Amino acid sequence: MKAVKWGVLGAANFAREHMAPAIHAAKGAELYALATSSPEKAAGFTAFAPNLKIHSSYEALLADPEVEAVYIPLPNHLHVEWTLKALAAGKHVLTEKPIALRADEIDQIIAARDASGLLAAEAYMIVHHPQWQRAKEWLEAGEIGTLRHVDAAFSFHLTDMDNIRNRPDAGGGSLRDIGVYTFGSARFVTGSEPVDLSARLILDNGIDSFAQVSGIMDGPHGRFTYGSMTSMRLYNRQVVTFQGDKGMIRLEGGPFNANVNDLAEVELHRNGNSVLVERFPTANQYVLQVQAFGRSIREGVAYPCPLEFIKGTQAMMDKVYDVAVEISL
């Protein structure tokens, strides 16, 4: 397969630490160009990709005829604008989550994708990781009996108010930053959608620094209760549990940042004290994501996480914001 030439739109820390190295390491991909006006920031990328072409503006990178696919790690409020500009420039585009701040904004991206015949996707990397695929397989195989409850928690401690995740003008907040994981992981594994939701938020600096969500979801496994917690003011925690009447699937440690915060593993609890643990020490979900994107471009393979799925997660988030009540401690 001919390598897809990638350009990165902006020298974000996350791009430098995770996604650009993943593109550089992925089979069928070439980290070709970077758009940044800062030589200092560019140096962090050329340190591992010395032949990287540097453009001084986003527009220049989009105009580069050699660039086939663009990765967009810009602040949340810029995602829709630059995703549409990349598609208009004839580029396939992978945009960081959330690709939009409201579900209805995704419709215009889907329309532009379909009109152009190009691939546009959100960088929702967890669906490419084998630990989440195994959880889905176990649930569908009936390993835990009838699904009764799903709960998820994702927290970390961030007090830098200048960080874009703490800024309302940049589309910050715990739900937009990490709620996509507590919501989307449940939807991915179960294939279900929420039918009833309630939420409580703690607002801080104009953003939700804490969100507690509960509800009922319905789908191919029937109805079950759902609960989640996200926070940017608590100690690091990542855990998701799928609980049935005969067993439980549990992902803990670092299921959303697999092999970064902790070793990627998934547990199957059943038959009293029986626990089956499957570990994935070498799987890199960012590399797997880039490779899946490349196969879709070159071979026409269906992309595992289309925008229609992403819109469903955003619709769930929109509903949470609509029904949420503010609390204080």
Helix (H) or strand (E) holding 106: helix 105-116
| DSSP code for 259 | T
**Structure tokens of 292?**
């899946």
- Choice among 5, 85, 91, 97 that is catalytic: 97
**pLDDT number for residue 263:** 83
8 Å CB contact between 7 and 32: yes
Q: Which of 257, 211, 265 has its CA nearest to residue 237?
A: 257
Tell me if residue 97 is catalytic. yes
Residues near 56 by beta carbon (within 8 Å), at least 6 away in sequence: 35, 36, 37
C-alpha span between 196 and 320 (Å, rounded): 10
Domain 127-283: which CATH number of 3.10.580.10, 3.40.50.300, 3.40.50.11540, 3.30.360.10: 3.30.360.10
* pLDDT of 271 strictly over 90: no
Helices 130-140/180-190 angle, 10° precision: 40
User: What is the sign, positive or negative, of the torsion defined by CA atoms of 104, 108, 109, 110?
Assistant: positive
User: What is the sign, positive or negative, of the torsion defined by CA atoms of 82, 70, 294, 101?
Assistant: negative
What digits encode the pLDDT tens for the residues 66-123? 999 999 999 999 999 999 999 999 999 999 999 999 999 999 999 999 999 999 999 9
User: What is the model's pTM?
Assistant: 0.95
**pLDDT number for residue 10:** 97
Tell me whether the omega of the peptide bond preceding residue 98 falls within 30 degrees of 0, making it cis.
Answer: yes
Domains of the chain: which residue ranges? 4-123+286-303, 127-283
* pLDDT of 325 strictly over 90: yes
C-alpha span between 66 and 107 (Å, rounded): 28
* pLDDT of 25 strictly over 80: yes
Q: What is the mean pLDDT of the chain?
A: 96
What digits encode the pLDDT tens for the residues 106-116? 999 999 999 99
**pLDDT number for residue 258:** 84
Amino acid at 109: I
User: Which superfamily, per CATH, for 4-123+286-303?
Assistant: NAD(P)-binding Rossmann-like Domain (3.40.50.720)
